[in-house]
Structure 1
Amino acid sequence: MMPTAERWEDALGHYRLALQANPDDSTAAFDLAIALEDVGRTNEAIHAYEQAIRSDPKLADAYFNLARLYEITGKRAAALRYLSKYKRLVE
């Protein structure tokens, strides 16, 4: 069963509260980014992934997801930059 819009908003609210309590929580920022992607808020998701990376510069999946979102939004140079960082982390 797919979550309703109300449930997504609840989830987003919980992730935001977690980040207010601990702005350096890379897991909360990453999970917020995924949820934002799922509801089509691409620009907000990009910012949340960037926050996750600031908190944990070795969070490889965040680099990959950022590369994918930047490619989708037509920002190829940024996509390639984040993909390169992802590859360095996983090799």
Structure 2
Amino acid sequence: MGLQRVVIERDALNVIQRVKALKEDRSVLCSYMHDIQILSKVFEEYAFKKYLDLIKAETEGVMRGTGHMKRQKRGSDRKLLETVQV
């Protein structure tokens, strides 16, 4: 049983745009992007996501107190602790 769905996540929007573009890419990462383009054709479903949306949503959740990360205040400094709420 093989994979039928794949999600490509990347932190740079321009990389996602280059992968989705039909024109030939000549950047340093062109071989990786070409492989992703070829492999995406054999999957039943695929998606390209950027981390920025996920980070923004989590940051907003932390500010509201509903995120997966906890907010702690020490003196005047506020730090996000990467502790998952149970």
TM-score, normalising length: structure 2:
0.28
Q: Which has the higher helix share?
A: 1
Q: Which has the higher strand share?
A: 2
| Structure with the greater alpha carbon radius of gyration | 2
TM-score, normalising length: structure 1:
0.27
